[in-house]
């Protein structure tokens, strides 16, 4: 048969590749027409033994459902991102990032064009590595998809034992490698492309790792010039060293190098409370001013960005006039600001608790007076010297490497002698090693939890509420959090199973028979109740798990936000590994395999896991 969609025009000379493409499509069309179509068994007129077998391959509806889920997730994420961007467009600052296009998918192209250096400066190396890995995965998937769809899939249709197959029980309705006839010449293609895909994966991973090494080198060079690279955080400072001067003299006496500054952390709970109260009052005051003034201009052509640009142009013109150079005319900018709209009524607020009780007064005057009072208290609290000294301090060296000539400290570890805290021990000065690394790897005290030197996190990364915790308190918190995590791993399935049973047929029949009746009358509602609601309940419940684990990481006593995030991810990985794979697998097959394990011994456990893990996954 002729294919109308590939028919060439009469009297025209088609190129060679068009002729070849037409022949290939014609061959695939003929093979598709010759392929036997599976028919459903007619159980009304035949017995089950006489019925024709039903197609047992991978149903197409599963693929369609998976594709719909992926497409829905992408569109849902794009919609949320678009709405978030639209709600935060009122950022009128000269340092604001470039404005994204207003189209629905307009943010994708600028995101792809964003250089790694831009992300590296703002987010860090870990985020860049993760994004680069995603890009590598996209490249590898695109490469494999081109050859898989363009070569392997037509080969699977043309050969592989699918055409004129008389065996109905070999999954002939699905395009699988196992359905090929033994000894088929088409198996060579699978062997070749196995090596092609493997070497492609090796190449893309090598390219990704090479780029990572280059980025890390540049990142470390830039990081070496920062303050955190020359600073160590000392925990467990003894009472004799809990002053800035004593701590500086102690580290200078170690021979590590010149100390630039030292700071011993103090307990500033009262100052922290005052600063927090002042920030809350300031937010309320700004909200009151925004409610009172609103948009000061009623002109629809009002553009704050244009006004800022014109103001800058006026400043440039004034500077040019003072320097004798000609700039833009100031008269051309007269009348740029539209007339302001009329003022509204001033907002009011109640002075009682929660803003619900007390006398109603002017909000702007009251909040301004309250802010001035708190600001004076903050100034007095900062000048006060009666705060208790903590056990944590920061030591900053002048240089990242020592300029003193001599033998490296790390080359003579045997010369280190641990001494009491009353006097520093004698060490050899380092030559070219990082002072931060040497200070963090050197044992400074024989007592546990004393003078533990760690790499200082970035000031923005420090979680200050946990910075003053003692070593023993951190250890106790760590033990309690780990016990809670183990408890969650083994008992998390109880609430999840309870939520799953709420939408079962038996539960609906017992507690909501009217809903079950409606579900039987509507197939769509029945599919939603039986297939969508249980999954939605479990997903919502599982989404609360990361927030719970993050709260445990905060309670654990970690002193850096990056450490808290890392601890949260490790807890989540531990939970998924043991709860989903091991606990659920063992719980679902305990009664079936207990006798098999007892009879076969310990070696049978491996066979049981190998059999049950694919079923659960």
The residue with greater pLDDT, 177 or 54, is: 177
268/386 Cα distance (integer angstroms): 10
Element (H, E) at 553: helix 533-555
pLDDT level of residue 165 (50, 70, 90 thresholds): very low
Kindly tell me if the per-residue pLDDT of 522 is higher than 50: yes
Check: CB of residue 406 under 8 Å from CB of residue 429.
Answer: yes
Q: What is the dihedral of CA 99, 100, 102, 107, to 10 degrees?
A: -170
**pLDDT number for residue 608:** 67
**pLDDT number for residue 70:** 63
Check: CB of residue 436 under 8 Å from CB of residue 397.
Answer: yes
Q: What is the pLDDT of residues 173-191, one digit of tens each?
A: 444 555 556 666 777 888 8
Average pLDDT over residues 404-420: 37
Kindly tell me if the per-residue pLDDT of 57 is higher than 50: no
**pLDDT number for residue 597:** 65
| Residue 396: C-alpha distances to residues 231, 234, 248, 399, 431 (Å) | 4, 11, 9, 9, 18
The residue with greater pLDDT, 393 or 517, is: 393
**pLDDT number for residue 536:** 75
**Could you give the residue ranges of the DSSP H alpha helices within 384-468?**
435-441
173/120 Cα distance (integer angstroms): 50
Kindly tell me if the per-residue pLDDT of 314 is higher than 70: yes
pTM over 0.95: no
Most confident of 92-96, 383-387, 532-536, 611-615: 383-387
Which residues have CB under 8 Å from 185's CB, separation 6+? Answer: 159
What phi and psi, each to the nearest 5 degrees, are found at residue 201? Answer: -65, -40
Most confident of 140-149, 415-424, 446-455: 140-149
Q: What is the dihedral of CA 382, 386, 388, 390, to 10 degrees?
A: 50
Nearest alpha carbon to residue 245 among 256, 231, 255, 259: 259
119/123 Cα distance (integer angstroms): 6
**pLDDT number for residue 397:** 87
What phi and psi, each to the nearest 5 degrees, are found at residue 449? Answer: 65, 20
In degrees, rounded to 5, the angle at the alpha carbon of residue 394 between the alpha carbons of residues 391 and 395 is 125
Average pLDDT over residues 247-251: 89
**pLDDT number for residue 398:** 84
pLDDT level of residue 9 (50, 70, 90 thresholds): very low
**pLDDT number for residue 430:** 40
Kindly tell me if the per-residue pLDDT of 356 is higher than 80: no
Residues of the chain with pLDDT > 90: what percent?
13
Lowest mean pLDDT among 173-177, 431-435, 465-469, 587-591: 173-177
Q: What is the pLDDT of residues 529-552, one digit of tens each?
A: 766 777 777 777 778 888 999 999
Q: What is the pLDDT of residues 597-610, one digit of tens each?
A: 666 666 666 676 66
22/9 Cα distance (integer angstroms): 13
Task: Quickly tell me which residue has 């699977």 as its tokens.
Answer: 156
**pLDDT number for residue 295:** 64
Nearest alpha carbon to residue 368 among 347, 352, 384, 343: 347
Kindly tell me if the per-residue pLDDT of 407 is higher than 80: no
Nearest alpha carbon to residue 482 among 587, 546, 575, 413: 575
Kindly tell me if the per-residue pLDDT of 423 is higher than 80: no
**pLDDT number for residue 208:** 93
The residue with greater pLDDT, 527 or 594, is: 527
Kindly tell me if the per-residue pLDDT of 293 is higher than 60: yes
End-to-end CA gap in the chain: 46
264/245 Cα distance (integer angstroms): 10
Check: CB of residue 212 under 8 Å from CB of residue 125.
Answer: no
Question: 161: left (phi > 0), else alpha (psi -120 to 50), else beta?
Answer: left
Check: CB of residue 439 under 8 Å from CB of residue 395.
Answer: yes
pLDDT level of residue 277 (50, 70, 90 thresholds): very high
Kindly tell me if the per-residue pLDDT of 220 is higher than 60: yes
pLDDT level of residue 348 (50, 70, 90 thresholds): confident
Buried b / exposed e across 171-209, counting CB within 10 Å, b at 16+? Answer: ebbeeeeebbeeeeebbebeeebeeebeebeeebeeebe
Centre a 10 Å sphere on the Cβ of residue 474 and count the other Cβ atoms it contains.
17
pLDDT level of residue 204 (50, 70, 90 thresholds): very high
Give the count of alpha carbons within 13 A of 77, CB side only.
7
Q: What is the pLDDT of residues 123-135, one digit of tens each?
A: 778 888 888 898 8
Kindly tell me if the per-residue pLDDT of 414 is higher than 60: no
| DSSP classification of residue 580 | I
Structural tokens at position 594: 């207990």
Q: What is the pLDDT of residues 471-513, one digit of tens each?
A: 888 899 999 999 999 888 878 777 776 766 666 667 777 777 7
Strand 452-455 to strand 389-397: parallel, antiparallel, or no bridges (unpaired)? unpaired
Mean pLDDT of the chain: 72
| DSSP classification of residue 97 | P
Kindly tell me if the per-residue pLDDT of 210 is higher than 80: yes
The residue with greater pLDDT, 92 or 394, is: 394
**pLDDT number for residue 59:** 47
Find residue 362's DSSP bridge partners. 348
């Amino acid at each position: 048969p002729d294919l109308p969609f590939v028919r060439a025009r009469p009297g025209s000379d088609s190129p060679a590749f068009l002729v070849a493409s037409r022949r290939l499509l014609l061959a695939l069309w003929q093979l598709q027409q010759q392929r036997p179509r599976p028919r459903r068994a007619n159980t009304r007129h035949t017995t089950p033994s006489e019925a024709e077998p039903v197609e047992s391959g991978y149903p197409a509806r599963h693929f369609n459902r998976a594709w719909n889920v992926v497409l829905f997730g992408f569109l849902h994420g794009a919609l949320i991102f678009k709405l978030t961007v639209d709600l935060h467009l009122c950022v009128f600052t000269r340092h604001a990032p470039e404005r994204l296009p207003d189209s629905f998918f307009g943010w994708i192209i600028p995101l792809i064009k964003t250089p790694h250096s831009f992300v590296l400066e703002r987010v860090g190396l870990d985020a860049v590595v993760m994004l680069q890995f995603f890009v590598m995965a996209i490249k590898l998937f695109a490469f494999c998809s081109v050859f898989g769809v363009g070569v392997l899939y037509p080969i699977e249709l043309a050969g592989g034992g699918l055409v004129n197959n008389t065996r109905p029980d070999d999954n002939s309705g699905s395009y699988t490698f196992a359905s090929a006839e033994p000894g088929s010449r088409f198996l060579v293609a699978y062997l070749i492309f196995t090596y092609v895909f493997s070497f492609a994966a090796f190449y893309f991973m090598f390219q990704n790792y090479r780029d990572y090494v280059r980025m890390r080198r540049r990142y470390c060079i830039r990081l070496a010039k920062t303050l955190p690279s020359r600073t160590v955080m000392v925990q467990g400072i003894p009472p004799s060293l809990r002053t800035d001067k004593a701590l500086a003299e102690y580290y200078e006496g170690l021979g590590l190098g010149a100390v630039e500054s030292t700071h011993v952390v103090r307990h500033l709970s009262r100052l922290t409370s005052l600063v927090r109260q002042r920030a809350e009052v300031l937010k309320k005051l700004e909200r009151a001013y925004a409610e009172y003034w609103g948009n000061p201009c009623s002109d629809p052509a009002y553009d704050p960005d244009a006004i800022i640009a014109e103001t800058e142009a006026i400043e440039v013109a004034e500077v040019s006039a003072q320097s004798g150079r000609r700039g833009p005319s100031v008269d051309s900018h007269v009348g740029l600001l539209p007339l302001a709209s009329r003022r509204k009524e001033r907002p009011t607020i109640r002075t009682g608790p929660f803003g619900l009780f007390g006398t109603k007064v002017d909000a702007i005057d009251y909040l301004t007076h309250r802010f001035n009072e708190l600001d004076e208290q903050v100034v007095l609290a900062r000048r006060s010297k009666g705060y208790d000294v903590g056990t944590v301090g920061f030591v900053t060296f002048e240089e990242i490497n020592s300029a003193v000539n001599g033998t490296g400290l790390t080359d003579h570890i045997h010369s280190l002698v641990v001494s009491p805290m009353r006097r520093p021990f004698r060490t050899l000065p380092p030559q070219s090693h990082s002072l931060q690394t040497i200070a963090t790897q050197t044992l400074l005290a024989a007592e546990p939890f004393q003078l533990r030197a760690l790499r200082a996190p970035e000031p923005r990364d420090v979680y200050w509420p946990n910075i003053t915790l003692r070593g023993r308190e951190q250890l106790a918190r760590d033990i309690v959090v780990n016990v809670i995590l183990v408890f969650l791993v083994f008992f998390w399935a109880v609430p999840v199973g309870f939520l799953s049973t709420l939408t079962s047929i038996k539960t609906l029949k017992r507690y909501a028979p009217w809903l079950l009746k409606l579900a039987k009358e509507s197939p769509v509602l029945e599919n939603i109740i039986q297939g969508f609601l249980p999954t939605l309940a479990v997903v919502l419940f599982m989404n609360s798990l990361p927030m719970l684990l993050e709260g445990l990481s905060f309670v654990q006593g970690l002193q850096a936000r990056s450490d808290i995030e890392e601890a949260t991810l490790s807890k989540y990985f531990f939970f998924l590994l043991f709860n989903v794979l091991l606990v659920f697998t063992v719980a679902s097959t305990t009664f079936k395999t207990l006798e098999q394990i007892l009879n076969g011994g310990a070696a049978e456990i491996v066979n049981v896991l190998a059999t049950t893990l694919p079923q659960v996954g």
